[in-house]
Structure 1
Amino acid sequence: MIRVLVADDQAAVRDGFAALVDAQQTMYVVGRAATGRESVDLARRTSPDVILMDIRMPKLDGIEATRIICTDPALQRTRVLVLTTFDLDEYVYAALRAGASGFLLKDTPRAELLHAVEVIAGGEALLAPSITRRLIAEFASRRDPQHPSPQLAELTDRERDILLLVARGLSNAEIAGRLVISPLTAKSHVRNILRKLDCHDRAGLVALAYENGLISPGDQP
């Protein structure tokens, strides 16, 4: 069963998402939060698999709440799915860099939202890579890539190759096929890359790759 925490300052939205999740046989709601601070407190008490996180909330916004949750060692298995009204939202980009696993629009069809929860809970693939990469590319293009992150120097040549494939949206299985290695080896490499680059999830790797000029908008998988 997938344990879900719903965080949104609008009661109708919060209750709607919670009812949708609770109606499924494979997931259930462990808590509802009306503020960012409540989402952090409830996450620490309930250890959810996935948090549906609104960005604009009182007392602590979704960005800072995401950062706190994603850097808490006790919540390393918790994944954050950002929900927003706008698909090119500067705050969403900040949330992805803070550790969120991906984002969806609030008017996303129900079946798509439920599938997203399953994908995020599985921790395998970057959610909606075409949309997420477009968002990351938009805001990363405003940064100066002349000063690459020093952690990149810690990567081996193979890890650098895999980072580029992750940034292009390939799953572990697809990376394994491309490099003729086992899916388990690909997963191990991705885990090491996440550790070396201090990223919580694959979305963070995509953002870092764009920010450092390793990949550009329009690059093909």
Structure 2
Amino acid sequence: MQVLPSISLRPFIRHYLFIENPVRTPIRFFSDANPGIVFCEGEMILDGEYLPPAFAYGQITHYKDLYYSGSLLIVVFRPYGLHALTGIPATELKDQFIDLSLIFKQPPARDTVDAFFCSLQQHTCSLTKATIDYIDREKGMLTLAQLQDFSGYQERQLERRFKASVGIGPAKYCNIVRTHRFLKSLQKDRKITPLVFENGYCDQSHAIKDFKKLTGLTPRNYLHENYPLASNFLSRNCTI
């Protein structure tokens, strides 16, 4: 179940995601370019280690396999949202799962999350937000030259600003957006070939390569061996 945040938080938080599962379940977690904060009433295990009951994660550059059981609340931020509300450089959170008590002196309780984030000072980067919105509108099908023309910055400047607030560069973000659009298209229409060209790929092998790099699965495996709990969160029907 998804619940929208307060209106003042919607530029920074996409939604709150609630997931329940009483049985320990293997899941595949991969990037959707949105950082998050997880509250787990139960257990969550990654690489044989128990994760804290409340933790933040940044950009994920490689898919993860983990187990969870119980009740999850996931605060799904916009790509720049966690940086905007905490001031922490997004590069410092990249590929990290950090106990929330190391970020906030008094971390919010699960049932006070919305009010807590409303109380934080906001650090908005209007250029990054505008560029993110542009990429989303164009479904990730943009070149670096087009992004430079839009932003008015040279490649290095744009890359530096983007990484500070998002954690990855604009080209990587475009790739994730496009791959997720392909993924969502597969859920509606299982005929792969026409979807390849609709989503801006030059051929099927390129699309499958990007898909597998992001998810660790081929499109066929994705369709037949998994149950989506969220866009980047799959319950596995096979052994991890």
* TM-score bin, normalised by smaller chain: under 0.3
TM (norm. structure 1) is 0.25
TM-score computed with the length of structure 2 as normaliser: 0.24
From the CA coordinates, give the structure whose radius of gyration is larger: 2
Relative contact order higher in (CA < 8 Å, ≥ 6 apart)? 2
